[in-house]
Amino acid sequence: MTEQSPAPRMNVESFNLDHRTVLAPYVRIADRKQLPGGDVLTKFDVRLTQPNHSHLASETVHSLEHLMAEHMRNHSDDVLDVSPMGCRTGFYVLLVGDHTPDGFARVLEATLRDVIAADQVPAANEVQCGWGAHHSLAGAQQAARELLDQRATWGQVTAA
């Protein structure tokens, strides 16, 4: 039997995460960097669906992006960016400051409640969006409900 050498470390943090071992939904710190000027950036991985087993519909992701990007800033002045993952299993949220998962979870929970209460997707039009017709408020609200329903498990990233 030959011993396999470990895979080389990749530059992208999520490429070093064994997606077979995670247990969605969860919220984890994906990266934390101190900038030369002393500011700290904290990037959260907000995983909604199980990688390689399920994903969100494209319209749902698009609407969640708009809704979360708009509403999350009502709960934290530290939000720099809310970006969907290309695999459509979740989002990255970038904050300025040294944030904890528990503190961010409170912001996320309040944001998801805003998503559920929304009566429209912000900026879902041809003037403010590159694909204004490509949205699903109902899909975004369902995904938000499902994530909130499993709030107790957000801190558990892997089954082990």
Please give the model's pTM, rounded to 2 decimal places. 0.94
Average of per-residue pLDDT across 119-125: 98
Query: Is the confidence at residue 63, as pLDDT, over 90?
Result: yes
Model pLDDT, residue 7: 78
Mean pLDDT, residues 104-133 taken together: 98
Q: What is the pLDDT of residues 3-36, one digit of tens each?
A: 666 778 999 999 999 999 999 999 999 999 999 9
φ, ψ for residue 25 (rounded to 5)?
-85, 155
Q: Residue 101: phi, psi to the nearest 5? A: -60, -40
Q: What tokens does 145 get?
A: 């409900």
Region 120-145: mean pLDDT is 98
**Residue for token digits 């490509």?**
134
pLDDT at 127 over 80: yes
CA angle, residues 158, 82, 133, in degrees to nearest 5: 115
End-to-end distance of the chain based on CA atoms, in angstroms?
27
- Name residues whose C-beta falls within 8 Å of residue 20's C-beta, 6 or more positions apart in sequence: 51, 52
**Are the beta carbons of 91 and 65 closer than 8 angstroms?**
yes
* % of the chain at pLDDT higher than 90: 93
**Res 50: pLDDT:** 97
Tokens representing 90 are 């979740």
What per-residue confidence (pLDDT) applies to 3?
Answer: 61
CA 59 to mean position of chain CA atoms = 16
Which residue ranges make up each domain of the chain?
20-153
Specify the CATH class of 20-153 in words.
Answer: alpha beta
- Residue 20 CB-density burial (10 A; 0-12 exposed, 13-18 middle, 19+ buried): exposed
Classify burial at 114, counting beta carbons within 10 Å of its beta carbon; exposed 0-12, middle 13-18, buried 19 or more.
Answer: middle
Residue 4 confidence (pLDDT): 65
Query: What would the two tokens of residue 33 be?
Result: 């960097």
Which residue do the tokens 């969605």 mark?
Answer: 24
